[in-house]
Structure 1
Amino acid sequence: MSGNTAGPARGWLALLCASRLLQSMIVTAYSGVLPFAMADWHMTAAQAGSIQSAWHVGYMSSLFAVGLLADRYGPQRIFFTGSAVSAAAALAFALFARDHLSAMLLYGLAGLCAGASYTPGLQLLAHNTEPAVRGRAMGLFIGSSSMGYALSLAVAAASSHLHQWRLGLLAAAVCTVAGAVLTAQALRRMRLPSPPAPGAIREGTLHALAATVRDKPAMAGNWAYAFHCWELMALWAWLPAYLVASSGVASSWQGAGIALAALAHLVSVFGSIAGGAASDRLGRARVMMIATVASLCMSFAFGWMWSWPLWLLAAAAAVYNLLAIADSSVYSTALADVVAPHRLGVAFSVRSVMGFGAGALSPWVFGLALDWGQGSFGIGSTHAWVAAWSSAGLGALLGPLMIARFSRLHRAHVAAR
């Protein structure tokens, strides 16, 4: 897979997005079966949350590593090889997880292998698009992830209705294999970065890391992304369990709760695409600020909706998901706008450590808050869920300040050119 300078062939973006859709299904596979695994494996809420946190710790580590490797060996090689390894790890989790410890270790391993389908994909997408349409393309890529999350939860709902919730995990893992196959097809149609010329001087990894950390606009955007991830990862991990708990004890209604969580993710596809496209017209920082403030309001309000009818709560969840995801692609686009291409992989690595480091903690903290709330106010209490969802909002409160800082520094940087 050597580099080429020809334009990308028709259909490259559709194949890239389809690959991303299928490979992202494993991300929400566990959250879709969390309430059933929690009961069958006799876990507390904190233990259940720690399994999702293990995924994010592994994912964070892989994103950092593949970003560095992609700058050195080319994103196309890492994208192709990593997708195959990720599929194998997903299958191992689906087949061999049996209790809290094994699930935490195997899901963490799946996360550790999954980063190769994300960061190198962003680099290749940036290489194949012009800045004027990059936001929309990033939105389609991130929106494909949301579509995968929704499909995974829909499969989990169907398998839970059949009282075979483990089938949902296996189906998601099989889809990652199909996604890896599509990765190869997408790469054949893309314009690939040319490898460095023999004897060319490469910027060292440590030098690139230091340059990224000193890059004030990039780091302000990365901090904003970290606070965004705190909120978003808690939402993704616990939304299905929240809707299931609100629906009652009947198994048919529990399946409906997960299906409605899938619908909420499906609606968020529009948020990703609309947010990315809007950032091309209105500016990155403005869209980030609007979406962040709106989703923060939902974090502090969502727990109070516990006693709403299920259909109305699901509608609110869809709005919450849409607002929380609307600026996800914009953070990636904004970073590509301000960072030199030769160290974009390193910059994505730094961002990933910050974002998914925060995202690794928030599902566990959410579970701790829920355990505390249920111990203090009783299981099924509105106040227990208010405490849990408020933990998602509290961890993201500094996001608007970092977005404002990014906007100011970016404007100053552009004016100084």
Structure 2
Amino acid sequence: MLTRHPLVTIVIAQLFGTSLWFSVNGVGLALQGAVGLTESDLGLLTIAVQAGFITGTLLIATTGLADRVRASHLFALSAVLGALINAAFIMVADNVTLAAVARFATGLCLAGIYPLGMKLVVSWTPNHAGAALGWLVGMLTLGIASPHLLRGLTLNLPWQWPLLLASLLALIAALMIYLLGVGPHLPATAKSGRPWAGLAAFKHKEFRAAALGYFGHCWELYALWALVPFLVARELERLEAANSAQPWLSFATIAVGMPGCVLAGRASRRYGSARVAFVALATSGALCVFYPLLGSTPPLFLLALLLIWGFSVIADSAQFSALASATAPADRLGSALAMMNAIGFTLTIPAIALVTSLWANQGLGVIWWLLPGPVLGLMAMRSLLRPAGRT
């Protein structure tokens, strides 16, 4: 029954599975009060997840695991392990070192969810990959935003509840993908794996350009998502509004990227993935420039700008993946995407570290640290611009 609507199944499973990613950030303010974590500690925990994801993607890319094991099996196993580790975080939250280890392990598991989700989409819906991946990345965005929603729904309950609910969603995701299986349009496995197989894709000029654009996008994206609760809290304080609105507004700021991804995917069918990605990256880059300069404007205006930023900052992600998928060797697609993810997410670590450690001293000025990503990404992807309709 699931195979009748494979894309729907995959994107919902992606939503549920990636709820593990920012599950701790969703209860960040509660953890600051309950166990004494600082803003820098929360930044460390976010970086730990990123480091785990990078390590995991490098592992599956360099070993060829992403192409030697059925994608549905690897996704399901990763989601189950991630759910268990995410729940175990509750027992070590008061110890920053152990908490960071738990988040690192969660990131390892996410490496078997996100890149493999992209491969599953291509295996079931190879045509109009930009539109299909737009839905997938949109659900990733919604999944990353979901901890803030879960916290808003359980605001009067202990902080452990959103974490447990995220783990439950990941278990459901594992079951859905296990039952779905791999689509018919890609080989389920590769006969043999070569070390560093994913790097071979960088020999292709167009893949390399798409990857470099993606790397610039990554520098900005996750650092902004890490900043969202702080940016929202700043405007709520200026409005003298209740803190209870913070999780809801943080959720909205990140979740609005979901329709951004979907609309970008639709636009890619007319204008091409390269053009759509360029416009989205240019928009978010412009906000990197101007948002700090507008810091004294009315809080509601800045919250509205945050929504525009949340809409545009992720809209290009799926289009970069579609461009990469179209130029990577088909029998090494999983490894190539995993390698691209690994390098891109490596760049998120210094970006997150900069903005979270400097926020207390620089305030909105930390946003300018994000600007090199969009600028360099736009420069790299100029060669990808082609006549409308090409992806």
TM-score (norm 1): 0.84
Percentage identity across aligned positions?
22
1:301, distance to aligned residue in structure 2 (A): 2.5
Tell me the amino acid that sits aligned with residue 145 of structure 1: L
Equivalent residue runs for 1:250-399 within 5 Å: 253-371=242-360, 374=361, 384-399=362-377
Q: Distance in 2 between matches of 1:57 and 1:254?
A: 31
Give the structure 2 partner of residue 115 of structure 1.
111
Q: Distance in 1 between matches of 2:171 and 2:291?
A: 36
Moved more, 307-316 or 236-245: 307-316
1:331, distance to aligned residue in structure 2 (A): 0.9
Give the structure 1 partner of residue 73 of structure 2.
77
Equivalent residue runs for 1:83-102 within 5 Å: 83-102=79-98
Give the structure 2 partner of residue 380 of structure 1.
none
SS at match of 1:78: helix
CA RMSD of aligned residues (A): 2.6
SS at match of 2:184: coil
1:151, distance to aligned residue in structure 2 (A): 2.8
- Note if contact 1:261-1:317 (Cα within 8 Å) is conserved in structure 2: no
Any gaps of 5 or more consecutive residues in structure 1? 1-7, 375-383
Residue 134 of structure 2 is aligned to residue 139 of structure 1:
yes
SS at match of 1:98: coil
Q: Distance in 2 between matches of 1:290 and 1:263?
A: 22
Any gaps of 5 or more consecutive residues in structure 2? none
Question: Residues 304 and 166 from structure 1, CA distance in 2 versus in 1: closer, same or farther, beyond 3 angstroms?
Answer: farther
SS at match of 1:248: helix
Q: Distance in 2 between matches of 1:172 and 1:307?
A: 37
Question: Residues 43 and 81 from structure 1, CA distance in 2 versus in 1: closer, same or farther, beyond 3 angstroms?
Answer: closer
1:289, distance to aligned residue in structure 2 (A): 0.9
Residue 142 of structure 2 is aligned to residue 164 of structure 1:
no
1:103 alignment partner, one of 99, 104, 107: 99
Question: Residues 404 and 10 from structure 1, CA distance in 2 versus in 1: closer, same or farther, beyond 3 angstroms?
Answer: same
Give the structure 1 partner of residue 173 of structure 2.
179
- Note if contact 1:71-1:343 (Cα within 8 Å) is conserved in structure 2: yes
Instruction: State the 4+ residue runs in structure 1 displaced beyond 6 angstroms.
Output: 249-252
Question: Residues 386 and 407 from structure 1, CA distance in 2 versus in 1: closer, same or farther, beyond 3 angstroms?
Answer: same
Give the structure 2 partner of residue 205 of structure 1.
195
Moved more, 49-58 or 295-304: 295-304
1:403 alignment partner, one of 381, 386, 390: 381
Question: Residues 348 and 33 from structure 1, CA distance in 2 versus in 1: closer, same or farther, beyond 3 angstroms?
Answer: same
- Note if contact 1:97-1:106 (Cα within 8 Å) is conserved in structure 2: no
Tell me the amino acid that sits aligned with residue 149 of structure 2: A
2:230 alignment partner, one of 217, 233, 241: 241
Q: Distance in 2 between matches of 1:386 and 1:167?
A: 32
1:306, distance to aligned residue in structure 2 (A): 4.4
Number of equivalenced pairs: 385
Give the structure 1 partner of residue 59 of structure 2.
65
Give the structure 2 partner of residue 38 of structure 1.
32
- Note if contact 1:19-1:179 (Cα within 8 Å) is conserved in structure 2: yes
Q: Distance in 1 between matches of 2:153 and 2:299?
A: 18
1:53, distance to aligned residue in structure 2 (A): 0.8
In our comparison, the structure showing a higher alpha carbon Rg is: 1
Can you list the C-alpha shifts for 1:198-220, whole angstroms capped at 9, x where unaligned? xx6x46234x3452232222122
1:271, distance to aligned residue in structure 2 (A): 0.4
Q: Distance in 1 between matches of 2:202 and 2:153?
A: 46
Give the structure 2 partner of residue 216 of structure 1.
205
Question: Residues 345 and 195 from structure 1, CA distance in 2 versus in 1: closer, same or farther, beyond 3 angstroms?
Answer: closer
Question: Residues 245 and 71 from structure 1, CA distance in 2 versus in 1: closer, same or farther, beyond 3 angstroms?
Answer: same
TM-score (norm 2): 0.89
Q: Distance in 2 between matches of 1:250 and 1:98?
A: 32
Can you list the C-alpha shifts for 1:164-201, whole angstroms capped at 9, x where unaligned? 3332222222221222222223328x43744569xx6x
Question: Residues 158 and 73 from structure 1, CA distance in 2 versus in 1: closer, same or farther, beyond 3 angstroms?
Answer: closer
SS at match of 1:29: coil
